[in-house]
Structure 1
Amino acid sequence: MGGLTFVDVCSGAGGLALGLERAGFEPRLLLDDDEVAVRTLKTNRPQWNVLCADLLDFDPSEHPVSYDVDLLAAGLPRVKSNATVGRTDSGMEERLLEATVYLVHAIKPRAVLIENVPGLADSDKHRQFRDFARAELAHLGYEFSWFVTNAVDFGVPQNRKQGVLVAVEQPRADAFRPPAPTVLEPTTVGAALGSSMASRGWQEAALWAAQADQPAPTLVGGSKNRGGADLGPTGAKRKWATMGVNAHTVGDLVPGPDFIWDPKLGRDNMVKITAEQAALLQGFPESWQIAGLKTARYRQIGHATPPPVGEALGRAVAEALNRDPATSAAG
């Protein structure tokens, strides 16, 4: 399954790129306009070719390494939904979506992968973009499908639905199938974070982990224009509270040995999730270092594509690209 190449735009903390790497893809170029995110990418993968630039200004002719790749991937900033109104820059996400489709004209990859909010795949609100993408990509000889994934189906301890567009050039397009779930049972917050909660000697970590017996709600990264980090909108905060977590902020450290956990006493006696723990809830490995101060780290993490989802999508794309066209036609 090796030997496949990709360009990744709006790479952020590298969740999608890391997943694609695990699926056997080699990056030719990664692009992001956030200097801190670029630092994250270079810290973890110094051998990757990372460009700090705005997608809207990106000219592939100045970076010919981006031509003749197998896959153009984009884990774009999430377009506005009811959960993120006020958290994102108006109109920017839609422009980035369109810019990614136009980029297909220039670099002509064999496949395209765009990940965003679940409504992108089926909501009337985003019908205009779907019609635009269909017209542009069909004209270029791609067939594509829209579908929704949930990160919890791929071992990520988080209910995080994503709308996905995968377009594949004919004649291999018929061979593409959306990835099937890789786990039978969801991973819970307690299972994912129990050991880290105990790492500073907190004696009640196991008790807390037993109560945190469900996957996390969707983490929301917010925008650069907002203040401090929190774990998401009001509904998510209520969900976190049932697990004894204060979701109104992001912690600096996990609880120490003297911490008294008693949610009945209010937020001060609930645990706080740290940015590093949020990365675990997104499926990043512990070794993946996120650059920047706390709010910047959490923002990168909250916007990321969970690497296990990226890997599953990458494997599904690779299977189609590696299929013999004659076999695809016969099947």
Structure 2
Amino acid sequence: MNIALILERAAAAAPDRIGLVCQERSWRYGDLLDAARGAFELIQESEAEAVAILDDCSEASVFALFGAALAGVPYCPLDSTLADEVLGAELQRLAPAIVIGDEERATRIAGTQGHMIFSREDFSLKAQETVPDDNAREYDPGGGVAIEIFTRDTRDSPRAEIFRHSQLLDQLAKAASAPRSERSDVILLAVPPHNIVGILALLFAVQECRKAVLLPYIAAEAWFTLVESQRVSQALVVPALLACIVEDMEAGVGRDLTTLRAIACAGAEMPLEVMRRALELFPEADFTSAWGPEGVADTITVLAHERPQHALADVAAILGAQVPPARSIDF
């Protein structure tokens, strides 16, 4: 099996339902599947052995994720904050690849490595304009690599963490079995593309035919606007953004954020004091810190408003993963 199957199922079940929102544009599930198949055609024609993202989260990264899955090649989102020499070494490991995002930087640091380089806009446009040939599609059987994420290492050569299709689908199946609220969910993802928790959350949203809203950059004001305008129920943020949100809330930002019932932090350790202050500022939302040296399942701390069972269900919905026994702290 292949993670692209969940998008095909969502498109078959709800083709006209909005599945993705990014920078004031939206895509229905049927549109997302067409774009993924268009991305597949681009990957097939290029004969690339991987798809690399050197960019913020965007519709292009979503098209590429599912297009790479259909093509049976790894999806490899890179940490664009790293130095050029580090990214150059990582891209060398992936050559030949399709590289999507900062076209000028990718050309400068890896232009001689044999990659096909697209800007975010060009890749998105071509993926949506390309008419796929259904007969040419061949699915990875499920044991292949779906996602490859490079981790920081003191050694000279990059070290990659591998996520196979079968492993991801197993995680999603376990998360789907968790009890959940009957409310309709909209999830706001404000994490970089190389954050595996964000990828799992996106996959889970697609599996459940929910709306996923992307915030490509860290900006508290834009986050508030999206929560309010999209009626967001669950949000995934990086710790730096949560700290900015808390600061603005304490300064008296006046917004209607009553739809929020769960916020999760991922990507780095979040000080408990910041989460405690956030819990006080958002009296209707539960907070989760999902971080640890061994991955998302290593450290999960839930701060719940006297409803830990509902909080754990929301954690599963945000993280797109089975939730291990959690440490709950009630205030």
Settle same-fold status: TM greater than 0.5.
no
Per the normalisation by structure 2, the TM-score is 0.30
Q: RCO higher in 1 or 2 (8 Å CA, sep ≥ 6)?
A: 1
- Larger Rg, first or second structure (1 or 2): 1
